[in-house]
A and B are shown apart, each in its own frame.
Chain A
Amino acid sequence: MSEKFTKSMARNIFYGGSAFFFLFFIALTFDTTAKLPERDHRENITEQVVLGKKVWEDNNCIGCHTLLGEGAYFAPELGNVYKRFGNSKEAIIGFIKSRPVDGIPGRRSMPQFNLTDEELDGIAEFLKWSSEINTANWPPNIQG
């Protein structure tokens, strides 16, 4: 690099540029959180949805699945599973309940988590709510 461009100029660009863009990022974040309510439909976050998110976390579901495309890529996307299962909570609950304890020979299998009826209802409500988030039309199709 040329001699005219000094170390202190480089340092100033670093501190100034970083500070500017961090403040700009905070401003964008504020704007985003202000616009969120119409996209995430938080008015529909019931006690069951809250419980469902807790069950989701306590059983590390993200360790195999993606949710809105984030997580592990070992098992299907669940952001739209409510719709994929025909808008049916019962289908989701039935699937989770019926996982064999010892798995399926030679194949990937979801563990049997022995959830209570209340927890099962919570997780289904949570996935139903998740499917109604405005995700800019992602995923491209029902397969997730």
Chain B
Amino acid sequence: MQYKSQAVAKPYFIAAIALFVGQIVFGAILGLQYVMGDFLFPEIPFNVARMVHTNLLIVWLLFGFMGAAYYMVPEETETELYSPKLALILFWVFLAAGVLTIVGYLAVPYATLAEITGNDLLPTMGREFLEQPTITKIGIVIVALGLLFNISMTALKGRKTAIIMVMILGLWGLAIFFLFSFYNPENLVLDKIFWWWVVHLWVEGVWELIMGSILAFVLIKMTGVDREIIEKWLYVIIAMALISGIIGTGHHYFWIGTPEYWQWWGSIFSAIEPIPFFMMVIFAFNMVNKRKRDHPNKAAMLWAMGTPVVAFLGAGVWGFMHTLAPVNYYTHGTQITAAHGHLAFYGAYVMIVLAIISYAMPLLRGRAAANSKKSQVVEMWSFWLMTVAMIFITLFLTGAGILQVWLQRINENPMGFMEVQDKIAIFYWMREVAGIIFLIGLILYVVSFFVGGDEEEASS
């Protein structure tokens, strides 16, 4: 750690991991509810558990992005953070808002939560991923603006590297597109069109800038390859990401009441979306081959190399699988979508956050460069358990999805939804087993932080 103010990243990373554990516990509950429909009913119905699962994911990834920003900005700009105090205040505001929202989901019926948080005044709730009470959404905007003010002020007085400009641009985009969550027209079709301006332009747009900049930062630090080369790659990758991804939004506009021409725009441009992910794989492996030093933090290296590979599989391959309109006509809104969602989020965003945590946390805890070998071995076990488990979750959901599409949509005598669900239950059971293995991997990940031993020497 070169700058004192980088230390504010630490609570952000700890909160991220704690909420990640919560997310996976609820994931396991959801998986069980798929096969034991009355599990925890009516105390925690499926919709509540799902809301907790997805909202915790978003909140902990945001904690991870913010922690990454606070860690990277001083080092890249070569100056202390504009206000470490503001960063800590915002941490507590965001944590309080996040925890209170989750408690609200679990403690009272959703309709009651909507009522007591004044959803009638400005209705924004009850839409997928944007279930947060309006007041929480306002809190998110305030925290994001505070973060942007803090890091933008820091960048203004310091060195402006490509990496940090891309990260700041990504975070500005994140804040700006989130504002569309306050637009909730009475017309469902309009609602859906602009709902994607938050959801798609986040995960297939500006979040990729944040992801790219974190990956570039970690690779510079770990391989020692020349910044000029890495930043050139970064620009090319994110150029491809946005050139394909913006019009690629069209793959969500096939069947929601929007004109048919979107079937062309959406299919063609989203078919290009795997390319930036593939370039990311080439980029990461190239940089490692050209490395000028062997960094002792092998665990961080594993996460950094795993990120583009699994992101390419989950977002690229599994995305392409159902993105062409004639295919999507049959797969839209089935377990195929769920399979893609799981691997894409894990590969692109979970793994990049774990990569920066793995790289930065030993330094934030005062180590010279890396954790002890023993600790790293445990962490690498957690990498393989979680990653392989997630690949199996994806494969089982894909199996479920293919059967679902066949029985419910293609078959000459299409079966009803619930009947089909019974027929494909075996896949849900296998998914749940893989999910439990993921949870074990995650527990091991947390344990790795408490494994002692002699720490690795810093390489010269």
Q: A18-B246, A133-B188 are in contact. Are A104 and B255 (CB under 8 A)?
A: no
- Contact between A53 and B38, CB atoms less than 8 A apart: no
Contacts of A133 in B (CB 8 A): 188-189, 256-257
Task: Kindly state the separation between the CA atoms of A24 and B242 in the bound complex, as whole angstroms.
Answer: 12
B6-35 vs A, CB cutoff 8 Å, 1 = contact: the mask equals 000000000000000000000000000110
Interface of chain A residues 29 through 85 with chain B (CB within 8 A): 29, 31-33, 35-36, 39-40, 42, 45, 49-50, 53-54, 56-64, 66-77
- Contact between A53 and B186, CB atoms less than 8 A apart: yes
B233 proximal to A (CB < 8 A): yes
- Contact between B259 and A32, CB atoms less than 8 A apart: yes
> At the interface with chain A, which of B42-50, B61-69, B431-439, B450-458?
B42-50
In the assembled complex, how far is the CB of residue A112 from the closest CB belonging to chain B, in whole angstroms?
A: 8
- Contact between A103 and B42, CB atoms less than 8 A apart: yes
B193 proximal to A (CB < 8 A): yes
Contacts of A61 in B (CB 8 A): 47, 126
B38: which of A5, A45, A109, A134 is its contact (CB, 8 Å)? A109
Contacts of B50 in A (CB 8 A): 63-64, 72, 74
B397-420 vs A, CB cutoff 8 Å, 1 = contact: the mask equals 000000000001110001111100
B118 proximal to A (CB < 8 A): no
Q: A18-B242, A143-B415 are in contact. Are A130 and B188 (CB under 8 A)?
A: yes
A135 proximal to B (CB < 8 A): yes
Q: How many residues of B contact A (CB 8 A)?
A: 77
- Give A111's nearest chain B residue, CB to CB: B45
Contacts of B256 in A (CB 8 A): 68-70, 133, 135
- Contact between A32 and B232, CB atoms less than 8 A apart: no
- Give B269's nearest chain A residue, CB to CB: A21
Interface residues on A, range: 35 or more
A10: which of B45, B236, B247 is its contact (CB, 8 Å)? B236
- Of the listed residues B37, B187, B232, B330, the one surrounded by the most CB atoms of chain A closer than 10 A to its CB is B187
A95-130 vs B, CB cutoff 8 Å, 1 = contact: the mask equals 000000111111111011100000000000010011
Task: Kindly state the separation between the CA atoms of A112 and B111 in the bound complex, as whole angstroms.
Answer: 12
> At the interface with chain A, which of B87-95, B297-305, B332-340?
B332-340
- Contact between B257 and A71, CB atoms less than 8 A apart: no
A63: which of B34, B46, B418 is its contact (CB, 8 Å)? B46
- Contact between B254 and A136, CB atoms less than 8 A apart: yes
- Contact between A56 and B126, CB atoms less than 8 A apart: yes
- Contact between A72 and B238, CB atoms less than 8 A apart: no
Task: Kindly state the separation between the CA atoms of A74 and B47 in the bound complex, as whole angstroms.
Answer: 9
A17 proximal to B (CB < 8 A): yes
- Give B422's nearest chain A residue, CB to CB: A107
Interface of chain B residues 121 through 153 with chain A (CB within 8 A): 123, 125-128, 131
Task: Kindly state the separation between the CA atoms of A39 and B36 in the bound complex, as whole angstroms.
Answer: 40
B260-278 vs A, CB cutoff 8 Å, 1 = contact: the mask equals 1011010000000000000
Contacts of B127 in A (CB 8 A): 57, 62
In the assembled complex, how far is the CB of residue B212 from the closest CB belonging to chain A, in whole angstroms?
A: 10
Q: A104-B37, A141-B414 are in contact. Are A111 and B329 (CB under 8 A)?
A: no
- Contact between A141 and B409, CB atoms less than 8 A apart: yes
Subset of 7 A-B contacts with CB under 8 Å: A18-B243, A29-B193, A57-B114, A64-B47, A105-B38, A136-B254, A140-B414
Q: Which residues of A contact B (CB under 8 A)?
A: 1, 5-7, 10-11, 13-14, 17-18, 21-22, 24-25, 28-29, 31-33, 35-36, 39-40, 42, 45, 49-50, 53-54, 56-64, 66-77, 101-109, 111-113, 126, 129-130, 133-136, 138-144
Apart from A40-B257, A64-B50, A136-B260, 6 more pairs, CB < 8 Å: A32-B253, A57-B126, A62-B47, A63-B50, A68-B333, A108-B46
